[in-house]
Structure 1
Amino acid sequence: MPDTLDDTAVAGRLRDLPAWSRDGNQIRRRVKAPSFPAGIDVVTDVARAAEDADHHPDIDIRWRTLTFALSTHSAGGLTAKDFDLAATIDRIAARHGAE
Protein backbone atom coordinates (compact mmCIF):
# COMPACT_ATOMS: atom_id res chain seq x y z
CA MET A 1 0.00 0.00 0.00
CA PRO A 2 1.44 3.41 -0.91
CA ASP A 3 2.31 5.85 1.86
CA THR A 4 0.10 8.91 2.32
CA LEU A 5 1.77 12.27 1.90
CA ASP A 6 1.81 14.80 4.73
CA ASP A 7 0.50 18.35 4.27
CA THR A 8 3.93 19.74 3.39
CA ALA A 9 4.51 17.10 0.72
CA VAL A 10 1.03 17.65 -0.72
CA ALA A 11 1.59 21.41 -0.92
CA GLY A 12 4.92 20.82 -2.64
CA ARG A 13 3.43 18.47 -5.21
CA LEU A 14 0.56 20.90 -5.88
CA ARG A 15 3.07 23.64 -6.75
CA ASP A 16 3.99 21.50 -9.77
CA LEU A 17 0.31 21.09 -10.71
CA PRO A 18 -1.17 24.62 -10.63
CA ALA A 19 -4.51 23.58 -12.18
CA TRP A 20 -5.19 21.22 -9.27
CA SER A 21 -6.40 22.08 -5.78
CA ARG A 22 -6.75 20.17 -2.58
CA ASP A 23 -10.19 19.31 -1.27
CA GLY A 24 -9.73 17.36 1.96
CA ASN A 25 -8.23 13.97 1.15
CA GLN A 26 -8.39 14.48 -2.59
CA ILE A 27 -7.12 16.74 -5.32
CA ARG A 28 -9.44 18.15 -7.98
CA ARG A 29 -9.22 19.77 -11.37
CA ARG A 30 -11.88 21.12 -13.69
CA VAL A 31 -11.16 20.96 -17.44
CA LYS A 32 -13.10 22.67 -20.21
CA ALA A 33 -12.87 20.82 -23.53
CA PRO A 34 -13.34 22.61 -26.86
CA SER A 35 -16.38 20.41 -27.62
CA PHE A 36 -18.40 17.61 -26.08
CA PRO A 37 -16.78 14.95 -28.32
CA ALA A 38 -13.32 16.29 -27.41
CA GLY A 39 -14.27 16.00 -23.73
CA ILE A 40 -15.26 12.38 -24.21
CA ASP A 41 -11.93 11.79 -25.98
CA VAL A 42 -10.15 13.22 -22.93
CA VAL A 43 -12.12 10.89 -20.65
CA THR A 44 -11.34 7.90 -22.88
CA ASP A 45 -7.62 8.64 -22.84
CA VAL A 46 -7.67 9.23 -19.08
CA ALA A 47 -9.48 5.91 -18.61
CA ARG A 48 -6.73 4.10 -20.55
CA ALA A 49 -3.99 5.82 -18.54
CA ALA A 50 -5.83 5.04 -15.30
CA GLU A 51 -6.06 1.36 -16.21
CA ASP A 52 -2.35 1.29 -17.02
CA ALA A 53 -1.58 2.91 -13.64
CA ASP A 54 -4.17 0.77 -11.79
CA HIS A 55 -5.38 4.02 -10.24
CA HIS A 56 -8.77 5.47 -11.14
CA PRO A 57 -10.09 9.02 -10.78
CA ASP A 58 -13.64 10.06 -10.08
CA ILE A 59 -14.87 11.82 -13.21
CA ASP A 60 -17.87 14.11 -13.58
CA ILE A 61 -18.93 15.08 -17.12
CA ARG A 62 -21.11 18.16 -17.67
CA TRP A 63 -21.26 18.92 -21.40
CA ARG A 64 -17.74 20.27 -22.13
CA THR A 65 -16.71 20.54 -18.46
CA LEU A 66 -14.93 17.60 -16.90
CA THR A 67 -14.07 17.40 -13.22
CA PHE A 68 -11.41 14.96 -12.06
CA ALA A 69 -10.91 13.99 -8.41
CA LEU A 70 -8.06 11.83 -7.17
CA SER A 71 -7.43 10.11 -3.86
CA THR A 72 -5.88 6.80 -2.89
CA HIS A 73 -8.82 5.32 -1.04
CA SER A 74 -6.90 2.20 0.00
CA ALA A 75 -4.34 4.41 1.76
CA GLY A 76 -6.91 6.80 3.22
CA GLY A 77 -5.47 9.93 1.65
CA LEU A 78 -3.21 11.38 -0.99
CA THR A 79 -0.22 9.48 -2.30
CA ALA A 80 2.33 9.90 -5.08
CA LYS A 81 -0.01 7.87 -7.32
CA ASP A 82 -2.54 10.71 -7.22
CA PHE A 83 -0.03 13.32 -8.30
CA ASP A 84 1.46 11.10 -10.99
CA LEU A 85 -1.98 10.51 -12.52
CA ALA A 86 -2.84 14.22 -12.16
CA ALA A 87 0.24 15.08 -14.26
CA THR A 88 -0.85 12.52 -16.84
CA ILE A 89 -4.36 14.03 -16.92
CA ASP A 90 -2.81 17.46 -17.50
CA ARG A 91 -0.84 16.15 -20.49
CA ILE A 92 -3.91 14.41 -21.94
CA ALA A 93 -6.09 17.50 -21.53
CA ALA A 94 -3.47 19.70 -23.21
CA ARG A 95 -3.14 17.26 -26.10
CA HIS A 96 -6.90 17.60 -26.75
CA GLY A 97 -6.89 21.40 -26.52
CA ALA A 98 -8.75 21.42 -23.19
CA GLU A 99 -8.07 24.18 -20.69
Structure 2
Amino acid sequence: MAVLTDDEVDSAAESLNGWRRVDGALRRSIKFGAFLEGIEAVRRVAERAEAKDHHPDIDIRWRTVTFALVTHSEGGITDKDLAMAKDIDGIVDQTET
Protein backbone atom coordinates (compact mmCIF):
# COMPACT_ATOMS: atom_id res chain seq x y z
CA MET A 1 0.00 0.00 0.00
CA ALA A 2 1.46 3.34 -1.04
CA VAL A 3 1.95 6.27 1.29
CA LEU A 4 -0.04 9.27 0.06
CA THR A 5 1.61 12.59 -0.68
CA ASP A 6 0.86 15.58 1.52
CA ASP A 7 -1.17 17.08 -1.33
CA GLU A 8 -3.20 13.88 -1.71
CA VAL A 9 -3.92 13.79 2.01
CA ASP A 10 -4.84 17.47 2.15
CA SER A 11 -7.14 17.10 -0.85
CA ALA A 12 -8.86 14.02 0.60
CA ALA A 13 -9.23 15.71 4.00
CA GLU A 14 -11.40 18.39 2.41
CA SER A 15 -14.17 15.81 1.99
CA LEU A 16 -13.81 14.58 5.58
CA ASN A 17 -15.39 16.20 8.63
CA GLY A 18 -12.74 18.12 10.55
CA TRP A 19 -9.75 15.97 9.64
CA ARG A 20 -6.38 17.49 8.84
CA ARG A 21 -2.80 16.41 8.38
CA VAL A 22 -0.72 17.19 11.49
CA ASP A 23 2.74 15.84 12.33
CA GLY A 24 2.53 13.05 9.78
CA ALA A 25 -0.89 11.77 10.81
CA LEU A 26 -4.49 12.43 9.88
CA ARG A 27 -6.14 13.96 12.97
CA ARG A 28 -9.56 14.99 14.20
CA SER A 29 -10.54 16.30 17.64
CA ILE A 30 -14.16 16.12 18.73
CA LYS A 31 -15.73 17.78 21.74
CA PHE A 32 -18.67 15.81 23.10
CA GLY A 33 -21.44 17.11 25.33
CA ALA A 34 -20.50 14.76 28.15
CA PHE A 35 -17.54 12.61 29.10
CA LEU A 36 -19.46 9.35 28.70
CA GLU A 37 -20.60 10.31 25.18
CA GLY A 38 -16.95 10.51 24.18
CA ILE A 39 -16.19 7.20 25.85
CA GLU A 40 -19.10 5.55 24.03
CA ALA A 41 -17.86 6.93 20.71
CA VAL A 42 -14.38 5.57 21.46
CA ARG A 43 -15.87 2.15 22.25
CA ARG A 44 -17.73 2.08 18.95
CA VAL A 45 -14.66 3.24 17.01
CA ALA A 46 -12.59 0.56 18.77
CA GLU A 47 -15.01 -2.14 17.62
CA ARG A 48 -14.77 -0.95 14.01
CA ALA A 49 -10.99 -0.63 14.22
CA GLU A 50 -10.67 -4.15 15.59
CA ALA A 51 -12.86 -5.52 12.80
CA LYS A 52 -10.70 -3.78 10.19
CA ASP A 53 -7.41 -4.49 12.00
CA HIS A 54 -6.49 -0.82 11.63
CA HIS A 55 -6.29 0.99 14.95
CA PRO A 56 -6.19 4.75 15.50
CA ASP A 57 -4.25 6.44 18.24
CA ILE A 58 -6.86 7.85 20.62
CA ASP A 59 -6.37 10.62 23.17
CA ILE A 60 -9.15 11.34 25.68
CA ARG A 61 -9.17 14.66 27.53
CA TRP A 62 -12.40 15.00 29.52
CA ARG A 63 -15.01 15.67 26.80
CA THR A 64 -12.55 16.00 23.91
CA VAL A 65 -11.41 12.94 22.00
CA THR A 66 -8.66 13.13 19.38
CA PHE A 67 -8.19 10.41 16.79
CA ALA A 68 -4.91 10.12 14.87
CA LEU A 69 -4.48 7.82 11.89
CA VAL A 70 -1.28 6.67 10.24
CA THR A 71 -0.35 3.33 8.74
CA HIS A 72 2.74 2.63 10.84
CA SER A 73 3.78 -0.38 8.77
CA GLU A 74 3.97 1.85 5.68
CA GLY A 75 5.48 4.86 7.41
CA GLY A 76 2.75 7.35 6.55
CA ILE A 77 -0.85 8.07 5.70
CA THR A 78 -2.45 5.63 3.26
CA ASP A 79 -5.86 4.91 1.80
CA LYS A 80 -6.51 2.70 4.85
CA ASP A 81 -6.33 5.81 7.01
CA LEU A 82 -8.72 7.74 4.79
CA ALA A 83 -11.18 4.84 4.91
CA MET A 84 -10.94 4.64 8.70
CA ALA A 85 -11.44 8.41 8.97
CA LYS A 86 -14.70 8.03 7.01
CA ASP A 87 -15.74 5.19 9.31
CA ILE A 88 -14.97 7.29 12.38
CA ASP A 89 -16.95 10.20 10.92
CA GLY A 90 -19.96 7.94 10.50
CA ILE A 91 -19.70 6.75 14.08
CA VAL A 92 -18.96 9.96 15.96
CA ASP A 93 -21.14 12.32 13.97
CA GLN A 94 -24.17 10.48 15.35
CA THR A 95 -23.24 11.38 18.93
CA GLU A 96 -21.21 14.59 18.56
CA THR A 97 -22.63 17.70 20.23
Is the alpha carbon distance of 1:18 and 1:42 closer, same or farther for their aligned partners in structure 2, counting shifts above 3 Å?
Answer: closer
Unmatched segments (≥5 aa) in structure 2: none
Residue in structure 1 matched with residue 3 of structure 2 by the alignment: 4
Residue in structure 2 matched with residue 23 of structure 1 by the alignment: 22
Listed one character per residue, the Cα deviations across residues 21-43 of structure 1 (whole Å, up to 9, x for unaligned) are 11132011100111111111000
1:68 maps to a residue whose letter is F
Unmatched segments (≥5 aa) in structure 1: none
Q: Is the 1:46–1:92 Cα contact (8 Å) retained in structure 2?
A: yes
**Superposition TM-score, scaled by structure 1 size:** 0.91
Root-mean-square deviation (CA, aligned residues, Å) is 1.1
Q: Is the 1:25–1:76 Cα contact (8 Å) retained in structure 2?
A: no
More off after superposition, 56-65 vs 11-20: 11-20
User: Among the aligned pairs, what percent are the same residue?
Assistant: 46
Tell me which stretches of 4 or more aligned residues in structure 1 moved more than 6 Å. Answer: none
**Paired positions, count:** 97
- Partner SS, residue 31 of structure 1: strand
1:8: how far off? 2.5
**Superposition TM-score, scaled by structure 2 size:** 0.93
